């Protein structure tokens, strides 16, 4: 027999004991929880998207801060914009003296290319792009349905932001064809961050290029004779040292030549210093045109010039001296030339200069307008003159 005391008392069904008010409250709580879950999921997706954008942004910043090559910087920025914002097209405009020039563009697949020259001004005149370039607008966004879109082929929504550095607009960053419509504040904010950092990087690269150009120009001027434009004495010493090292290493002779304009004092006395300067310029131009590729041409001092005929033996050096004299005579210039051979007449710059100067003195004493080689040339193949 079954013990009645151990038998469970049947529970009434929940629906039987719940009141209508309890049921409604429970359903409301379930709906609230469902809505909260949806919002949490949306926020989670937004945070994930934002995290992805910030990650790309950080990578781009790290890359552009590691290089000063302007094209590398711009390519990195354009790829980063497409990757972070998923816009299908991005275009970078240069702004030069307030004028827009279409420079570079890319797409969602990471393809970046320079804009062809015939499309450099491919944009709508009077559009917001020019307002951004001129500084009258700080941000532009809209869609292709507007009466005056930025481009003839504007597609979907677009955003455009200036690249502003040191209160100067260096460019405009433009994107269109977003992954979904309409564009949101987050997309605009990320593009502004790209534009701001790109502007700084571009400005740094520009300053670096300008500094490098000025340094190169300063170095060039320091090694260039200001009147004639050829190498000066300082540059001659540096180039001669390199040539001596090369000649010693490869056992290669060369000819060291001093040239002095004949009767230069008379030119100055009769025509003044301007006439003398013109004679020096014509003399230098003639030497520059006559010299072979690889030869050294320099102004040593006053009306004295140096030509180093590299990788040249005595016979070739004589032909070279005759060629120089012939070219100068055609130009209406007379000069005397003294020549010395490395390594026979000297093994360093001072020795070669001394020997060539001795030969120049003999050329002057022998009637000028001629060349002479140093008498103690040790070249066994060609007798000394």
Instruction: Count how many residues are written for the chain.
Output: 385
DSSP result, 177-206: --SSSS--HHHHHHHHHHHHHHHHHHHHHH
* Contact partners, residue 382, CB within 8 Å, separation at least 6: 314, 315, 318
Which two tokens mark 233? 């004495």
* Contact partners, residue 30, CB within 8 Å, separation at least 6: none
Which two tokens mark 118? 């015939």
Question: Is 303 noted as a catalytic residue in this protein?
Answer: yes
Which two tokens mark 300? 């040593």
> Of these residues, 295, 303, 313, 345, which one is catalytic?
303
3-state secondary structure of 144: coil
Q: Is the dihedral of CA 306, 369, 278, 272 positive or negative?
A: positive
Q: Where are the beta strands (DSSP E) in 236-321?
A: 254-261, 296-301, 304-309
Catalytically active residues are 303
């Amino acid at each position: 027999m079954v013990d009645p005391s151990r038998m469970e008392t049947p529970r009434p069904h929940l629906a039987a004991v719940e009141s209508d008010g309890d049921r409604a409250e429970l359903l409301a709580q379930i709906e609230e929880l469902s809505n909260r879950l949806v919002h949490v999921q949306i926020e989670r997706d937004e945070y994930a998207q934002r995290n992805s954008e910030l990650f790309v942004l950080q990578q781009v910043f790290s890359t552009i801060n590691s290089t000063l090559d302007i094209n590398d910087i711009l390519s990195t920025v354009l790829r980063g914009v497409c990757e972070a914002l998923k816009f299908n097209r991005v275009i970078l405009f240069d702004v030069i003296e307030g004028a827009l020039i279409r420079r570079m563009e890319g797409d969602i697949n990471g393809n970046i290319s320079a804009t062809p020259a015939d499309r450099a001004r491919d944009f709508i005149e009077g559009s917001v792009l020019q307002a951004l370039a001129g500084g009258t607008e700080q941000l532009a966004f809209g869609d292709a349905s507007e009466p005056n879109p930025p481009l003839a082929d504007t597609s979907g929504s677009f955003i455009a932001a200036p690249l502003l550095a040191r209160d100067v607009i260096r460019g405009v960053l433009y994107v269109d064809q977003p992954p979904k419509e309409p564009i949101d504040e987050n997309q605009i904010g990320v593009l502004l961050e790209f534009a701001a950092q790109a502007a700084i990087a571009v400005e740094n690269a520009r300053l670096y290029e300008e500094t490098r150009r000025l340094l190169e120009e300063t170095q060039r001027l320091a090694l260039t004779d200001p009147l004639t434009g050829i190498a000066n004495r300082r540059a001659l010493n540096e180039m001669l040292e390199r040539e001596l090292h090369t000649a010693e290493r490869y056992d290669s002779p060369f000819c060291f030549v001093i040239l002095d304009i004949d009767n230069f004092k008379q030119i100055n006395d009769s025509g003044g210093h301007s006439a003398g300067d013109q004679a020096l310029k014509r003399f230098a131009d003639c030497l520059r045109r006559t010299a072979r590729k690889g030869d050294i041409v320099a102004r040593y001092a006053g009306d004295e010039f140096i030509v180093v005929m590299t990788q040249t033996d005595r016979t070739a050096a004589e032909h070279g001296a005759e060629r120089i004299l012939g070219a100068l005579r055609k130009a209406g210039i007379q000069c005397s030339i003294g020549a010395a051979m490395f390594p026979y007449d000297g093994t360093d710059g001072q020795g070669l200069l001394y020997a060539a100067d001795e030969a120049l003195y003999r050329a002057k004493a022998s009637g000028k307008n001629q060349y002479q080689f140093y008498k103690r040339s040790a070249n066994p193949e060609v007798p000394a003159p």
